[in-house]
Structure 1
């Protein structure tokens, strides 16, 4: 299948309204909404500033409410909710349950897919794989996590049908996981590493792993490719930054990021000089990301990334 061309319209200002100039019926026919979170770090509840009363964290109830609102507007089959990693660690609820209660909540919210961040491994690899295989009702994806023979630990990508097209989601996790989790979790009893995050050759191994997944997804019929990564920019290792991966690969249309706790939306050129839309939402649900792909025009834009919930959300 020939992939559709995706042009990028970048919203330059934050939008605090849910008003979108299309009817629900029209949206259901032509528009796909990708909602995204990252680095929630057990920030499950809505929080407010003690002095101003302003909402500083929408909580998972806010995410669920916003997802339901988007489904009513665009059609349930056209709304996809993804997470960019580091959800299960960062608070007592994660520590006491080794992440299982967070996964239960994400199941209830209705996440469609997630990628592991470095902190998904903080309770051990076996624990994470048990959560991914037996607890989560959504898939965890990672194109660059393998054993030392190159066998994948998780699926590299998944295909989602929405808006009359096929969208591939490719998962990526930072090789910094080796040191920003606990190194022994990736080793055998003799201290030998038994997992790889495609960390070698000054970034080239990572680029190759991502490119292979993108190519496979495209060959499988993807019209659009969305990378969901836990890589970041500020403070991240240069060759493993999301911007570096984009600059050294082709075929990614949208890159949803995490890891560095930044809030940004920008356009980055890939290896062929083509525009790739890159977005991250900060941490602890201070923001929720929203990307709209119009399958009729081939345009993608942020319609809103909300710093405070609109009045219709639970308070």
Structure 2
């Protein structure tokens, strides 16, 4: 096998750069939002509809559904939110977490973002040392954005080519020949990947790279994303362990809500995938079925997730 330990360490380093960039990007966005983030979360949850909007907006700002759900659980524990109000926030957070995947799929695979990312870092790096805190926070956000996509490019380059390393594909093939059971296996793999990385956004990015490089098919990638929706609930449940009964109820709701979503999607996964395939083909400049193994279908397949 041509893939060496040094190559594997490079891939781990690339993943570290991606996660580091995501962390800086997320923290910068939160600093730009400032204390208004908490006031928005606690003040715009009068009913479940506004709660969903608030959860979506907060997750879009923080780039982390885990942050939003942990904040919601903490607010319930502190009595700032009721259990019913927190359910809307949690629902919205599950929608907002897809924004990161869309950013990665649109910019990371559909266009050459690395030169732009480098230019963004070069433009904003000097402002990291500004005495103006708002300007410094904006610079931190933009530098994090650049590092995130440079890390993604490193991951894409660090993933071994299956043509020169067929053993990798053979290893994955061990889990792909069981029909519907293979989807369940990859749901478990997606869950474990999120547990290890403690970030569903990072796990989704890795899944997108695996799909783009042809390691896995679109159905298996979709199954992994479903598993990542289960894995992302763990942090909030751990945070609720030291909370009161209402905080525990909010965290359990997050888990049960995501489990129900995964179960019904698994029940309807094949018709849903065909609908997604038709939609992507109709809106794509290269109408190739994302369910095929054609290399030209892979960029469109990342959008299908």
Could you state the TM-score of these two structures normalised by the residue count of structure 1? 0.26
Between Structure 1 and Structure 2, the one with more strand by share is 1
TM-score normalised to the size of structure 2?
A: 0.27
Structure with the bigger RCO (C-alpha within 8 Å, sep 6+) is 1
> Which has the larger helix fraction?
2
